[in-house]
A and B are shown apart, each in its own frame.
Chain A
Amino acid sequence: MQEYVLLMVGAALVNNVILARFLGLCSFMGVTTRVDTAMGMGLATTFVITLSSMLNWAAQEYLLEPFGLDYLRTVVFILVIAGAVQFTEMTVRKVSPPLFQMLGIYLPLITTNCAVLGVALLLIEGKLTFIQSTLFAFASSVGYSLVMVIFAGLRERLALAEVPRLFAGPPIGFITASLLALAFMGFSGISTV
């Protein structure tokens, strides 16, 4: 049990997808103008990263490795991720059309988020079991969502603050992001996973 907890803490806080591995930076800057949308985006990404990582683990274990097709890993993973996103969209649409319409208006696409592919590749490199892979992917995406929401909250406050004209907009956003990354460095050493 302790092994699983350390794995999750390491994935979410110590080796945070955004602040330590520098994945998903486009959505980190692009969809963090409001806490509500950042939270919605974080939930959608958490679902897709967890689901696609499970599918990618199965593809690696039962298809690529037994048949010696490891050199096709990136291509296969991209296809699996696209399929997982499409499955998610179709399912939400079937399950509840009003929900699909509402999320479709306000939550952007996650098909091309590099964090989704990055996490899938990382867990294969780590040679994890299925349950470890699932927990690692889930914790990584929770870490992603956490940073998105924190940064969105900071940007909401920055929007109301008096910022020198030279730093207004993206520059003060990047400075804030770097300070947030420094704060997350405080988690270093908790877990080495």
Chain B
Amino acid sequence: MPDTIDSLDAGPPELVEGIARVVEVAGAVAWLEPEQTTSCGGCAASGACGAKGLGTVANRIAARRFPLVDHPGLRVGERVVVGVRGDALVKAALTAYAVPLVTLFLGGGLAQWGWGQDATTIAGSVGGLFFGLVLARLGAGRLFASGASAPRFLRRVGQAPQTCQII
């Protein structure tokens, strides 16, 4: 059965773009590291701002390395633009963040309703959070089983996009 959103779309799905750097090429598989952005989007004071440095250490960009299969002859050091469907990104964020949050509230709410003490509410919330993380794991497995959510190569940085994208 077709996805409801897909069936309403008049044109091809819009892709969310991100920039990554090729760090290793092993046959048909290229390994890429995303270029880390900050939530402020950067500004003229970025040279003196601690946001980028703090985030770079804290998030260990190397751990975010991801493979790109059947790449068009990429070389180490090249910067490329990768894309993923916008609705897939929203689904992934919902799975990772909304599901554990809902179960956290359910656990905390039940504990508050049953015992009415702060300590038990905290314990209930923590229990709900971990239950939600298990659910998120199952949901993520289903989300990625089809492979449609995997990032795909769009173009090398500097090349003009082939479709009209809002930037």
Contacts and interface: CB of A to CB of B under 8 A. Distances in A.
Interface of A: 26-27, 29-31, 33-37, 39-41, 43-44, 46-47, 50-51, 54, 58, 61, 82, 85-86, 89, 91-93, 95-96, 98-113, 129-131, 134, 138, 156, 159-160
B58 interface: yes
Interface residues of B, number: 60
A99 B92 contact: yes
B108 A131 contact: yes
B118 A129 contact: yes
Interface string B134-167: 0011001101100001110000000000000011
Interface of B: 14, 16, 18, 20, 34, 36-43, 50-51, 54-55, 58-59, 63-66, 82, 84, 86-90, 92-98, 100-101, 104-105, 108, 112, 118, 121-122, 125, 129, 133, 136-137, 140-141, 143-144, 149-151, 166-167
Given A85-B58, A105-B34, A130-B121, A27 B40 contact: yes
A92 B96 contact: yes
A58 B51 CA distance: 27
Shortest 4 CB-CB distances between A and B: which pairs? A30-B41, A26-B40, A36-B86, A96-B140
Contacts, number: 170
B47 to A, nearest CB: 16
A26 B59 contact: no
Contacts of A51: 104, 129
Contacts of B150: 98, 102
Nearest to B85: A36
A112 B55 contact: yes
Contacts of A86: 58
Contacts of B100: 47
Interface centre among B54, B64, B84, B151 (most CB of A within 10 A): B64
A35 to B, nearest CB: 8
